[in-house]
Amino acid sequence: MRLPPTSLAALAFAALAALGAVGCVHAQSRTPLAPPAPAQAAEPAARQAEAPAPSVAAAPAEAAPPITFAAVGDVMLGNAYAYPDPSKALLPPDDGATLLAEFSPVLEAADVAFGNLEGPLSDEGTTRKCKWPPTGVCYAFRVPERYGAHLARAGFDVLSLANNHVGDFGDVARVRTRAVLDGLGIRYAGAPGEVALLEVRGTRIGVAAFSVSAGTNDLRDVEGAARLVAELRARADLVVVSFHGGAEGAAYQRVPHGEEVFLSESRGDVRRFAHAVVDAGAGLVLGHGPHVVRGLELYRGKLIAYSLGNFATYGGFNLNGPNGLTLVLEVQVAPDGTFLGGTIHPGKQLRPGGPRVDPAGEVIQILRQLSAEDFGAAAPEIGADGTIRVPAPAPALTSRR
Ligand SMILES: [Zn+2]
């Protein structure tokens, strides 16, 4: 969804200032920050506490127009922290202003554009990840705060802050990240119990985000995840679940059964998690974390994307082969989350990074194959042009004598 440029940030700051909230961090679902975009407004806390609005029952679900999501995986627009040489920050040309330009139209056009913010937006904080004297490669990301404006301009509405990098620069940077996003009117979810609430044409949308990292909702606590989703479902018509989980890299594009262990760390049982959150009421599940794409599954009529891969990861990322393939996943869902259709918008990142439209559509064929291999009849139908459909029911067997 397109956010009005500077006026919105100014209004948001004014609203916060009027409430005396500037400089404070609020549980986001309580932030009475209402960007004046007609189709998306944060609900006042008082209304959220009330019983579900009766208007939902008054309008037949089939009459409501679909809601369009545009979802991407990991977003890390540039690293101001260079290790081991602090003078060599890995920041993009134009200071990032054009990095997302090719996919901005599809993000803007969606009712809700989602991404995983793989690193804090902060000019402050220190990291304990990288040792001195240097002991080798170390991935600690600190994205300049001014880059938040690029995310808003590209059309992002809501971001996951549940991943293994958002805490790279400690609590100071976590606080700065939320303050920057609040100022831009971008919602976020990820800290334990923290959810994002949006509204699209009267449909209340709740977003919860999970990972295996400290300071976030833990996807390995499947029962706890289901509980959070069920609680959110009581406050929202449609619940979207984001998760950052699974093993990483080109060798891990298949979705296994059971728990995944990577670098001696449990990365969750993503099939069990995804099914459990749908059982608890989620209408759309968006996975990321493996840095490569994984298959799509339809479960109880809801779409699960097991990994959206890297989207815009600038700098020291491995972008070889499947690591460099990306997409914007456009999905149309009914207001209850039932999957209606979608489109894969294929892209590619070349070193040092930044998504470019891929006219060859390489990622489409890969998603098609992975989905079929891992989910068989539960895979959605994916056309060569990237169209995603609910598979037609198998023709009834008739016998003639
Ligand atoms: Zn990650």
Tell how far the Cα of 90 is from the centroid of ligand 1, in angstroms.
18
- Ligand 1 center to 118 CA (angstroms): 6
pLDDT over 80 at 267, yes or no: yes
Name the CA radius of gyration of the chain, rounded.
Answer: 20
**Residue 10: how many other CB atoms lie within 10 Å:** 12
Give residue 140 CA to ligand 1 midpoint distance, Å.
Answer: 11
User: Does residue 117 have a pLDDT over 90?
Assistant: yes
Question: What whole-number distance in Å separates Cα of residue 36 and Cα of residue 15?
Answer: 11
Which has more pLDDT, 33 or 377? 377
Cβ atoms within 10 Å, residue 253 = 23
Name the region of 295 (left: φ>0; alpha: ψ -120 to 50; beta: rest): beta
Question: How confident is the model over 304-315, as pLDDT tens digits?
Answer: 999 999 999 999
The reported pLDDT for the residue numbered 401 is 53
Tell me the CA–centroid distance for residue 48 and ligand 1, in Å: 32
Please give the pLDDT value at position 2: 54
Res. 35 pLDDT band, cuts 50 70 90: very low
- Measured in Å, residue 247 CA sits from the centre of ligand 1 at 10
pLDDT digits (tens, 9 = 90+) for 314-335: 998 999 999 999 999 999 999 9
In this structure, of 17-21, 63-67, 299-303, the range with the lowest mean pLDDT score is 17-21
Do 35 and 12 contact (CB within 8 A), yes or no? yes
Q: Which CATH number fits domain 61-389: 3.40.50.1970, 3.90.79.10, 3.60.21.10, 2.120.10.30?
A: 3.60.21.10
Q: What is the pLDDT of residue 61?
A: 47
Residue 171 has pLDDT above 50, yes or no: yes
Confidence class for position 399, pLDDT limits 50, 70, 90: low
What is the phi/psi pair of residue 69, to 5°?
Answer: -105, 150
User: Percent of the chain, pLDDT > 70?
Assistant: 83
Q: How confident is the model at residue 50 (pLDDT cuts 50, 70, 90)?
A: very low
Whether the predicted pLDDT of 126 surpasses 50: yes
* pLDDT surpassing 80 at residue 343: yes
How far is ligand 1, taken at its centre, from the CA of residue 163, in Å? 5
- Residue 34 is classified by DSSP as -
pTM of the model: 0.85
Q: Identify the pLDDT of residue 132.
A: 79
Look up residue 221 and give its amino acid: D
- What pLDDT is attached to residue 134? 80
pLDDT of amino acid 3: 47
Give the helix/strand (H/E) hosting 210: strand 203-211
Query: 278, 189, 194, 273: which is closest to 233 by C-alpha?
Result: 278
CA of 253 to the centre of ligand 1 (A): 15
Can you tell me the distance from the alpha carbon of 110 to that of 297, in angstroms, rounded to the nearest whole number? 22
pLDDT at 153 over 50: yes
Per-residue pLDDT for 382 more than 70?
A: yes
Structure tokens at 5: 């440029």
Mean pLDDT of the chain: 87
Distance 252 CA to ligand 1 centre (A): 14
At 396 the pLDDT is 73
| CB neighbours of residue 6 within 10 Å | 9
CA 141 to ligand 1 center in whole angstroms: 11
Asked whether the predicted pLDDT for residue 85 surpasses 90, the reply is no
What is the average pLDDT across 355-363?
98
Residue 380 scores a pLDDT above 70? yes
Predicted pLDDT at 63: 61
Pairing of strands 282-288, 302-308: parallel
Find out whether 118 and 75 touch, Cβ atoms under 8 Å: yes
Q: Contact, 35 vs 41, CB < 8 A? A: yes
